[in-house]
Amino acid sequence: MSLRHAILVLLQDQEASGYDLAREFANSIGLVWNATHQQIYLELGKLNDQRMVNFRHVPQEGKPDKKLYSITEEGRQELIRWLRKPAGPARIRDAFMVKVAGGELADTQTLINELELLAKQRRERLATFEALAKKLDEQGREQNLFSYLTVRRGILDQRAWLQWAEEVRQSLHTDLANASAT
């Protein structure tokens, strides 16, 4: 998957400014695909050059004009083409897992501290996903089926990570206790 496809997905139903897209990345699709403001604006420029999106200027009082982007027919066709292709396996890029793998050389207490911080972030993300799922349920799950299914995957992912983290926490505390006993 590329950032372009995530942006096209967000633009498939309504036009949005770069700022709106960045906010959506922070609050919805960003829970499963990350992008910075700079990456979003850079990709919007490329999509515009490739005629997959276009924009219109909206005057604002006391501010520069806002650009509202919308998907073009070419963009819609690219999105359909991409949606029809198999996605392939997800890549895991988790720096903390690499630290755990190299844990023989690490300070156990430092790993525990980092684990606690990451677990707190994951619990917050889980709460966000659960709130989104509740909101989608209240609005009618059938009307929001694809968003709901995406959020459910996020919930299960966060729960699985937290379960793994508990195993790591217990093992690291045991390792710490054994080290101080010797």
pLDDT digit of tens for each residue in the chain (182 aa)? 588 999 999 999 899 999 999 888 776 676 667 788 899 999 999 999 999 999 999 999 999 899 999 999 999 999 999 999 998 887 777 899 999 999 888 899 999 999 999 999 999 989 988 998 999 899 988 888 888 888 899 899 999 999 999 999 999 999 888 888 87
Q: What is the pLDDT of residue 109?
A: 92
Q: What is the pLDDT of residue 88?
A: 82
Q: What is the pLDDT of residue 30?
A: 65
Q: What is the pLDDT of residue 163?
A: 98
Q: What is the pLDDT of residue 1?
A: 58
Work out the angle at residue 156's Cα, subtended by the Cα atoms of residues 114 and 33, and round it to the nearest 5 degrees: 70
Q: What is the pLDDT of residue 141?
A: 85
Q: What is the pLDDT of residue 31?
A: 64
Q: What is the pLDDT of residue 77?
A: 97
Q: What is the pLDDT of residue 51?
A: 97
Q: Residue 54: which region, alpha, beta or left (left: phi > 0; alpha: psi -120 to 50)?
A: beta
